[in-house]
Amino acid sequence: MDDLEEDLTCSVCYALFSDPRVLPCSHTFCRSCLKNVLQVSVSFSIWRPLRLPLKCPSCRSVVELPTNGVDALPVNVCLRAIVEKYQRERPPACPEHPRQPLNVYCVQDRKLICGFCLTVGQHQGHAIDDLQTACVKERGAQSRLTESLRWEEVCGLAERLAQEKERSHALVQNDREVVSRFFQGLDLILAQKEERFLQALDRASVLLASAYDPLIQQVKDMQEQHSELLIARECSVNILKYTKHPEALRCSHGQIQNICFISQQQFLCEWITKHWSNPRQDPCLDPFNISCSENQCTSVQKNTFVLNRGL
């Protein structure tokens, strides 16, 4: 059988011939193998038009093919028929070792193996039988197995299986309830924890407000006092020019400025010492017993402007 398979094997692809074609030199190859060879030889040669060169893979002689190439070569009909018959009748091949027939029975693994499996594969040293003996033994084992199984036992087995199934089902249901109860308890604990955390955060909010609000109010008070201080400063400058230093009218413009500045500084120092040392105290902005509303300040500023222009 091995020699026959070798004769039916293509020397290019080492598989059984597929659509075998005969070259003029009488050598035969698969149609697809010849197409591959032709493609290589055409791309590496300069040849006369309308003829395709092909070098036989066996005898290396160059043959010319017509333009329709390998398809023009005659089919080796006889060889094709033998290959088809061989494929139908040959024993199944080993899945581990391609093209090796499964012709040995491994007793240990109760499995068909090939010669390679036994000598170099996974079944080295295993007890074996030839196919005929294995077939007889397996038939005997099968009939013994059939005899040992009585119908009543089979029925009883089915009943036992049904009971076993019920018992397993009850166990699963029980486990299911346990898991449900566990997670319900977990939900309750989580809800309580959440409530406690939220309450703590609410308390933190209240604490934050009580810490920040007085500070914010204090800064606002200071801003108001600062504005009032600026207004008071301007009032003091203008009033000094009219009331406290009439002799300044006789001085030069620069001297008036100096006197005003010094008086203003003295007033501011006193005011800051009095009020900003305690920002919450209501400010008294009228050291010269006059009201310091915005309108009055504006009228004083106008008078000062007229006075300065006159100088």
Q: Residue 65 is encoded by which pair of tokens?
A: 């093919």
* 30 lines the binding site for Zn ion (CB under 5 A): yes
Closest CB to Zn ion: residue number: 10
Q: Return the beta strands (E) in 56-127 as ranges.
A: 62-65, 104-106, 111-113
Of 122-151, binders to Zn ion (CB under 5 A) are: 123, 126
In the chain, the amino acid numbered 17 is F
CB of 40 to Zn ion, least distance (A): 14
- Please, which residue, 83 or 232, has the CB nearer to Zn ion? 83
The CA distance from 19 to 25, in Å, is 18
- Please, which residue, 106 or 285, has the CB nearer to Zn ion? 106
* 7 lines the binding site for Zn ion (CB under 5 A): no
Alpha helix stretches (DSSP H) within the chain? 2-7, 31-43, 77-89, 115-119, 131-148, 151-239, 253-275, 294-310
For the four alpha carbons of 310, 254, 285 and 288, in that order, the dihedral sign comes to negative
- Please, which residue, 99 or 245, has the CB nearer to Zn ion? 99
- Please, which residue, 133 or 223, has the CB nearer to Zn ion? 133
* 35 lines the binding site for Zn ion (CB under 5 A): no
Which of 4, 6, 24, 25 touches Zn ion (CB under 5 A)?
Answer: 25
Which of 90, 97, 99, 137 touches Zn ion (CB under 5 A)?
Answer: 97
Interface stretch with Zn ion, choices 37-45, 111-119, 129-137, 217-225 (CB under 5 A): 111-119
CB of 153 to Zn ion, least distance (A): 32
Treating both helix axes as pointing N-terminal to C-terminal, what angle do 253-275 and 151-239 enclose, rounded to 10 degrees?
130
C-beta separation of 106 from 94 below 8 A: no
* 64 lines the binding site for Zn ion (CB under 5 A): no
Interface stretch with Zn ion, choices 76-84, 98-106, 154-162, 197-205 (CB under 5 A): 98-106
Contacts for 299-308: CB closer than 8 Å, 24+ residues apart: 300/235, 300/238, 300/239, 300/242, 301/234, 301/238, 303/238, 303/242, 304/237, 304/238, 304/241, 307/241, 307/249, 308/253
- Please, which residue, 13 or 79, has the CB nearer to Zn ion? 13
For the chain, report the end-to-end CA distance as a whole number of angstroms: 139
Give the pairing of strands 128-130 and 111-113. Answer: unpaired
Q: What is the CA radius of gyration of the chain?
A: 58
- Please, which residue, 71 or 194, has the CB nearer to Zn ion? 71
Which of 37, 82, 116, 233 touches Zn ion (CB under 5 A)?
Answer: 116
CB of 110 to Zn ion, least distance (A): 9
The CA distance from 176 to 91, in Å, is 55
* 33 lines the binding site for Zn ion (CB under 5 A): yes
Count of residues engaged in binding Zn ion, rule: CB under 5 A: 21
- Interacting residues with Zn ion (CB under 5 A): 10, 12-13, 25, 27, 30, 33, 56, 58-59, 94, 96-97, 106, 108-109, 114, 116-117, 123, 126
